[in-house]
A and B are shown apart, each in its own frame.
Chain A
Amino acid sequence: MNVFRLALRTLRREWHLVELRTLAASLVLAVIALGVVATLSTRIERGILASAAELIGGDLGVSAPAPLPEPMLRSARADGLAATRGASFRSVAFVGERSQLLDVLATDGVYPLRGTLEVRGADGRDRTARGPARGEVFLDHRAMVGLGIQVGQTIQIGGRDLHVAAELVRQPDGGELFALAPRALMNLDDASEAGLLSLGSRARHRLLVAGPPAAVATWRARVESGALPQGGELITPEKMQERMRTAFDRASAFLRLTALLSALLAGVAIALASARYARRKAAEVALLRALGTPRRRVAALLVTTLAALALPAAALGMAIALGLAQGAWYFARQLFDNIPTTLPLGPAFAAAAMGLAVLAGFALPPLVRLAEVPPVAVFRESMQRRVRRFDVLYLVPLVTAIALVWVQSDSAKLAGILAASLAGVAVVAALLSALLLVIARRVAPGAHPALRLGLAALARRRGLSLVQATALSLGLCALLLLAVIAPSLLDGWRRELPVDTPNWFALNLQDDQRDEFARSLEHMGATRTNMMPLAVGKLTAINGKPIDSIAFADGEAKDSADRQLRLSWSAELPPSNQVVEGRWPGPSPERAEVSVDTSWRDRFHLKLGDTLSFEVGEGTLDARVGSVRQVDWSSFRVNFFLLLDPAHAGELPHTWLTSFYLPRGHADELAKISREYGNLSLIDVDALLDRVREIVDRVGSAVRWVLGFSLLAGALVLAAALAASAQERRKEAALLRTLGATRAQLRAAAACEFALLGWVAGLTAALGATGAGLWLGKAVFRIEHFVPPLWPLVGAAALAALVVMAIGLFGTRRVLRTSPMALLREG
Chain B
Amino acid sequence: MNLRVAEGESFAIVGASGSGKTTLLGLLAGLDVPTAGSIRLDGQPLESMDEEARAAIRRRLVGFVFQSFHLLPALTAEENVMLPLELEGDNGARERAHAALESVGLGARRRHYPAQLSGGEQQRVALARAFVHRPRILFADEPTGNLDQHTGEHIGDLLFEMNRHHATTLILVTHDARLAARCARSAELHEGRLGVPA
Contact = CB atoms under 8 A, between A and B. Distances in A.
Interface of A: 380-382, 385, 445-446, 449, 452-453, 456, 460-464, 728, 731-732, 735-745, 819-821, 823-827
Nearest to B114: A381
A381 B25 CA distance: 29
Contact of B55 (A453, A740, A821, A824): A740
A823 B65 CA distance: 11
A445 B94 contact: yes
Contact of B58 (A445, A738, A821, A826): A738
Given A382-B115, A446-B91, A820-B31, A460 B72 contact: yes
Interface string B51-91: 11001111110101011101011110001000110110101
A460 B83 CA distance: 11
A446 B90 CA distance: 9
Given A456-B86, A460-B72, A824-B141, A741 B59 contact: yes
A743 B25 CA distance: 22
A739 B58 contact: yes
Given A460-B74, A820-B31, A824-B141, A445 B91 contact: yes
B128 interface: no
B97 to A, nearest CB: 12
B47 interface: no
Interface residues of B, number: 39
25 contacts: A381-B114, A385-B115, A445-B91, A460-B74, A462-B74, A464-B74, A728-B72, A732-B72, A738-B58, A739-B58, A739-B83, A740-B57, A741-B87, A742-B55, A743-B51, A743-B52, A743-B55, A744-B52, A745-B87, A823-B66, A824-B22, A824-B25, A824-B141, A825-B22, A827-B142
Contacts of A736: 83, 87
- By CB atoms of chain A within 10 A, which of B57, B84, B114 has the most? B84
Contacts, number: 88
B159 interface: no
- By CB atoms of chain A within 10 A, which of B25, B55, B56, B142 has the most? B55
Contacts of B55: 737, 740-743
B26 interface: yes
7 closest residue pairs by CB, A with B: A740-B59, A740-B58, A382-B115, A381-B115, A449-B89, A820-B31, A827-B68
A827 B84 contact: no
B67 A827 contact: yes
Contact of A823 (B57, B70, B75): B70
B26 A461 contact: no
B26 A821 contact: yes
B103 interface: no
Contacts of B60: 740
B155 to A, nearest CB: 16
A464 B72 CA distance: 14
A385 B73 CA distance: 13
A283 to B, nearest CB: 11
B91 A819 contact: no
Contact of A739 (B25, B87, B145): B87
Nearest to B142: A827
B93 interface: yes
Contacts of B116: 382
Interface in B24-42: 25-26, 31-32
Contacts of B94: 445
Given A735-B70, A742-B52, A445 B93 contact: yes
A739 B68 CA distance: 16
B88 to A, nearest CB: 8
Given A381-B115, A462-B74, A824-B26, 9 more contacts: A382-B116, A453-B86, A739-B59, A742-B55, A743-B55, A745-B87, A824-B22, A825-B22, A826-B68
Contacts of A449: 89
A469 to B, nearest CB: 16
Contacts of B142: 827
A740 B85 CA distance: 11
Interface string B151-184: 0000000000000000000000000000000000
Contacts of A463: 74
A452 B87 CA distance: 9
Contacts of A462: 74
| Secondary structure of the A contact surface, majority rule | helix
Nearest to A449: B89
A465 B140 CA distance: 33
Nearest to B82: A456
A738 B89 contact: no
A762 to B, nearest CB: 25
Contacts of B86: 452-453, 456
A17 to B, nearest CB: 17
Contacts of A731: 72
Contacts of B91: 445-446
Nearest to B22: A824
Interface in B91-108: 91, 93-94
Contacts of B79: 456, 460
B74 A461 contact: yes
A735 B94 CA distance: 19
B127 to A, nearest CB: 14
Given A449-B89, A460-B79, A820-B31, A738 B115 contact: no
Contact of B74 (A728, A735, A824): A728
A821 B32 contact: yes
B144 to A, nearest CB: 13
Nearest to B60: A740
Nearest to A744: B52
Contacts of A381: 73, 114-115
Contacts of A737: 55
A453 to B, nearest CB: 6
Contacts of B22: 824-825
A821 B87 CA distance: 19
Contacts of A460: 72, 74-75, 79
A744 B79 CA distance: 22
B58 A819 contact: no
- By CB atoms of chain A within 10 A, which of B25, B59, B75, B93 has the most? B59
A745 B59 CA distance: 12
A825 B31 CA distance: 11
A742 B87 CA distance: 9
Contacts of B51: 743
Contacts of B56: 740, 742
A821 B31 contact: yes
A645 B136 CA distance: 96
A739 B64 contact: yes
A319 to B, nearest CB: 39
Nearest to A739: B84
A747 B190 CA distance: 40
A382 B68 CA distance: 16
Interface in B2-32: 22, 25-26, 31-32
A200 B186 CA distance: 120
A643 B87 CA distance: 76
A435 B40 CA distance: 48
Nearest to B87: A741
A825 B26 CA distance: 9
B66 A827 contact: yes
Contact of B72 (A735, A741, A821): A735
Contacts of B67: 827
A740 B56 CA distance: 6
A221 B153 CA distance: 85
A728 B72 CA distance: 8
Nearest to A745: B87
B110 to A, nearest CB: 15
Contacts of A740: 55-60, 62, 84, 87
Contacts of A452: 86, 89
Contact of B83 (A382, A464, A735, A826): A735
A826 B142 CA distance: 12
A442 to B, nearest CB: 12
A381 B94 CA distance: 26
Contacts of B89: 449, 452
